[in-house]
Chain A
Amino acid sequence: MTLCNVLLVDDETAFVETMAKRLAKRNLQVSAAYNGNEALQKLEKDQTTEVVILDVKMPGMDGIETLKEIKKRHPLVEVIMLTGHATVESAIEGMKWGAHDYLMKPCEMEILMTKVDEAAAKKRRHEDRITEARIKEISSKRGY
């Protein structure tokens, strides 16, 4: 049984592949994307994705833009920013745009796992509350 559904986005193929394998080994269902557009497409196809691990510095559509798009289209999906040192500011900016957290590369696997768990839990909590709200709404309609 998988802990949660993760989408890994980075332009460094080698990094993505290894990271995907390591995350899969830790019982996550991992899919990979190598740029912002691909990530958006994958999210569109696979609605079960709960957490996106997003590199800030990418050619083309960069991490912040991708983040904005993701949050616009899939508000419930949680995003963890991954960054080199030069882009700490943009990671912080990312937090402003609704990212769950940020981590610096290279990062400890344990920390990353904790963050992913937190993010997934947060997303589920949000979903539950939305469901609850819906149920309330529906039941109140019925009751009426």
Chain B
Amino acid sequence: MKNNRLLQNPFYKSLMRNMFLTVILVSITPMILVIILLLSRFQTSYEEKVEAHLKELVLKHKQNIDGFLKERMNNIRYLSKVLNIEQLSDEQFLDERLAILQSEFGPVFVDMGIVNDKGKQVAYAGPFKLGEADYHEAEWFKKANTYPNFVSDVFLGLRGLPHFIVSAKKDFKGGEYILRATIDFVAFNNLVENIRIGETGFAFIVNHAGEFQTKPRAASVPNRAILDELLLEGKKIPEKVKVSRKEDSSGRDHIYVTASLKNDDWMLIYQQDTADAFSIVRKAFQIALLIFTIGSLGIVIMSYLISHRTVKRIARADQEKEMMNQQVIETGKLASIGELAAGIAHEINNPVAIMVEEAGWIQDLLEEEEFKKSENLDELNRALKQIGNQGRRCKEITHKLLSFARKTDSRTQEVDINQLIREIIGISEQRAKYSKIVFQSDLYSGLPNVRASQTEIQQIFLNIINNAIDAMEKSGGSITISTRQSTDTVMIEFADTGPGIPMANLGRIFDPFFTTKPVGKGTGLGLSICYGIVKKLGGDIQVKSVVGFGTTFQILLPAITTQNETMNINNG
């Protein structure tokens, strides 16, 4: 509680805040930098990888599809080259060919037919009853008539099913004929439909006009504008596989990979949601975000705890230092008062000595015959004697002052406790007299000495006696000082008949800065210093108090016994 109150101090508050912020800054900044750097690197390289992969895929399929178309074309061309018109016009023969083709390449070829240059079908083999059909109006026929080999766009045609035509034109004797075969749309569509990556990746083919040549997945067909754009871009460098990203009308970002097919007539387009294509990048982002969040949280908590704890410790250290300073000041004060007292005592001693000497001289002179007859001789002698007596009294007072002040050193020596108590009673008696306080002493004559600093022991005794005098200032009373020996400890007891210490304060009287004296009268350090000294000497100090009856301080100090000394020597 005390520490928390200390931490409310603005200095410690700002210290804590600065430490907290600094720790956070230096921890989180590198983390952010590393995460951003790694992510951007990862994103770039991963996107490059994905794009390269898609390009590869599309290129492979483009070759695949081109190859498929070319092969079908070659099948037809081969037939047109090796067969003559009579054979081709024979429907039965045509049927056989178709059957061979179907058994070789699967149900890719749906039907076959031979059309003359007027667009009239001369012979037909296949499941539809299309014999004698007239194609001269059909789009594909017009084109097929112009080129030696031709692959048409997908159209519904007479049969009402999507299909496209592969045709070869040949100049037979007796006119030009076109051998045409219908490629099964489903089989062709599979080539493209099989390109499926992720959840949204799919491919389709459009012709140069943007019409779909395969059946795209209905859900995510690119709109016209995007198609036109793609087609336009595709025309620039037709032989290359291109990757581009476009946003559709609904705001979704797509990646497009395009490759031209069938001599730039068609275009293979691969489309995928960017988010889907780069889902791993997104996942990495999410993981990074998670790590960052947890890390930041940890850093924040730790830096709060660390700064809090450190500042708390600093505050405590400061407080202790403050306390120590106070003690140093206190002892310094004692020492300087001692010096002052010594100086004054010495200065007074000299004039007193002269006065006594002068009185002695007068007394010497009175011995002379001429004064013998004086009637006031007795009176004069009495007065001189009185001067001598008072001079001696002065001497005694200064003697006490000096012997007290002289011992302001902390060298340890053998201290005669009884002697010290007598001295201190002598010093304190004067003050006590005014408060009607009587000293009683019960000193054990065989008391062993104690190894300690005389000054410090004096300080302890004086402190306790002064406290007792303060407590009984108004009421008066008695202070009984007794000494006892128990085996190897010396026990000194100071018992006063003062008002006693309330139970609530009894546990705190040795705490530094605890005082019940009015502000400015007591530092609250006296007893805590005493406690420190006694503990340092390996002793103990105890207090017993009954309110209304008095207080007893008991000090235990290790005695110097002959046995101890021998032991020390042995140990040494």
A binds B: yes
Which A residues form the contact surface with B (CB < 8 A)?
12, 14-15, 18-19, 21-22, 25, 57, 84-86, 104-106, 109
A106 and B346 in contact (CB under 8 A), knowing A22-B360, A85-B403? Answer: no
Residues of B within 8 A of A105 (CB): 349-350, 353
**Contact (Cβ within 8 A) A18 B357:** yes
How far is the CB of B346 from the nearest CB of chain A, in Å? 5
Separation of A106 and B360 alpha carbons in the complex (Å):
11
7 tightest Cβ-Cβ pairs between the two chains A and B: A106-B356, A106-B353, A105-B353, A85-B402, A84-B349, A18-B357, A15-B354
How far is the CB of A55 from the nearest CB of chain B, in Å? 9
Residues of chain B from 55 to 84 with CB closer than 8 A to chain A in the complex: none
Nearest residue (CB) in A for B392 is A106
Which B residues form the contact surface with A (CB < 8 A)?
342, 345-346, 349-350, 352-354, 356-358, 360-361, 364, 391-392, 395, 398-399, 402-403, 406
**B399: which of A14, A18, A85 is its contact (CB, 8 Å)?**
A85
Separation of A65 and B361 alpha carbons in the complex (Å):
30
Nearest residue (CB) in B for A57 is B346
**Contact (Cβ within 8 A) B391 A106:** yes
**Contact (Cβ within 8 A) A15 B357:** yes
Interchain residue pairs with CB less than 8 A apart (5): A12-B353, A85-B346, A86-B346, A105-B349, A109-B360
**Contact (Cβ within 8 A) A14 B361:** no
Residues of B within 8 A of A109 (CB): 360
**Contact (Cβ within 8 A) A19 B357:** yes
**Contact (Cβ within 8 A) A86 B395:** no
Residues of A within 8 A of B399 (CB): 85
* Besides A15-B353, A85-B349, A105-B350, 16 new A-B residue pairs in contact (Cβ under 8 A), listed by A number: A12-B354, A14-B354, A18-B357, A18-B360, A19-B357, A22-B360, A22-B361, A25-B364, A84-B346, A84-B349, A85-B402, A86-B346, A104-B395, A106-B352, A106-B392, A106-B395
Residues of A within 8 A of B354 (CB): 12, 14-15, 18
**A85: which of B345, B356, B361, B364 is its contact (CB, 8 Å)?**
B345
**Contact (Cβ within 8 A) A86 B350:** no
Separation of A136 and B35 alpha carbons in the complex (Å):
112
**Contact (Cβ within 8 A) B406 A12:** no
How far is the CB of A117 from the nearest CB of chain B, in Å? 18
**B357: which of A85, A104, A106 is its contact (CB, 8 Å)?**
A106
Nearest residue (CB) in A for B401 is A85
Residues of B within 8 A of A86 (CB): 342, 345-346, 402, 406
Residues of A within 8 A of B357 (CB): 15, 18-19, 22, 106
How far is the CB of B239 from the nearest CB of chain A, in Å? 116
How far is the CB of B409 from the nearest CB of chain A, in Å? 12
Count chain A CB atoms within 10 A of each CB in B352, B357, B358 and give the residue with the most: B357
Separation of A12 and B352 alpha carbons in the complex (Å):
12
Residues of A within 8 A of B358 (CB): 14, 18
Residues of B within 8 A of A14 (CB): 354, 358
Separation of A104 and B350 alpha carbons in the complex (Å):
11
Nearest residue (CB) in A for B358 is A18
Residues of A within 8 A of B349 (CB): 84-85, 105
Separation of A128 and B348 alpha carbons in the complex (Å):
43
A15 and B364 in contact (CB under 8 A), knowing A85-B399, A86-B342, A86-B402? Answer: no
Count chain A CB atoms within 10 A of each CB in B353, B392, B403 and give the residue with the most: B353
Separation of A12 and B358 alpha carbons in the complex (Å):
13
Residues of B within 8 A of A106 (CB): 352-353, 356-357, 391-392, 395
Nearest residue (CB) in A for B356 is A106
**Contact (Cβ within 8 A) A18 B361:** yes
Residues of B within 8 A of A15 (CB): 350, 353-354, 357
**Contact (Cβ within 8 A) A21 B361:** yes
Residues of A within 8 A of B398 (CB): 85
Separation of A21 and B352 alpha carbons in the complex (Å):
18
Residues of A within 8 A of B392 (CB): 106
**A22: which of B342, B364, B403 is its contact (CB, 8 Å)?**
B364
Residues of A within 8 A of B391 (CB): 106
Separation of A19 and B364 alpha carbons in the complex (Å):
11
Nearest residue (CB) in A for B400 is A85
How far is the CB of A141 from the nearest CB of chain B, in Å? 51
Count chain B CB atoms within 10 A of each CB in A12, A21, A22, A85 and give the residue with the most: A85
Nearest residue (CB) in B for A26 is B364
Separation of A109 and B391 alpha carbons in the complex (Å):
14
Residues of A within 8 A of B361 (CB): 18, 21-22
Separation of A109 and B360 alpha carbons in the complex (Å):
8
Separation of A21 and B395 alpha carbons in the complex (Å):
23
Count chain B CB atoms within 10 A of each CB in A15, A57, A106 and give the residue with the most: A106
How far is the CB of A68 from the nearest CB of chain B, in Å? 23
Separation of A105 and B360 alpha carbons in the complex (Å):
13
How far is the CB of B362 from the nearest CB of chain A, in Å? 10
How far is the CB of B486 from the nearest CB of chain A, in Å? 35
How far is the CB of A100 from the nearest CB of chain B, in Å? 20
A84 and B350 in contact (CB under 8 A), knowing A18-B357, A25-B364? Answer: yes
Separation of A82 and B358 alpha carbons in the complex (Å):
17
Separation of A19 and B392 alpha carbons in the complex (Å):
17
Nearest residue (CB) in A for B402 is A85
Separation of A8 and B360 alpha carbons in the complex (Å):
17
Count chain A CB atoms within 10 A of each CB in B345, B354, B360 and give the residue with the most: B354
Nearest residue (CB) in B for A109 is B360
Residues of A within 8 A of B342 (CB): 86
Separation of A112 and B530 alpha carbons in the complex (Å):
44
Separation of A22 and B357 alpha carbons in the complex (Å):
9
Residues of B within 8 A of A19 (CB): 357
Nearest residue (CB) in A for B399 is A85
Separation of A105 and B395 alpha carbons in the complex (Å):
8
How far is the CB of B345 from the nearest CB of chain A, in Å? 7
Residues of A within 8 A of B403 (CB): 85
Residues of B within 8 A of A12 (CB): 350, 353-354
Separation of A56 and B346 alpha carbons in the complex (Å):
12
Nearest residue (CB) in A for B357 is A18
Nearest residue (CB) in B for A89 is B406
Separation of A86 and B360 alpha carbons in the complex (Å):
24
How far is the CB of A114 from the nearest CB of chain B, in Å? 15
Residues of B within 8 A of A57 (CB): 346
How far is the CB of B569 from the nearest CB of chain A, in Å? 28
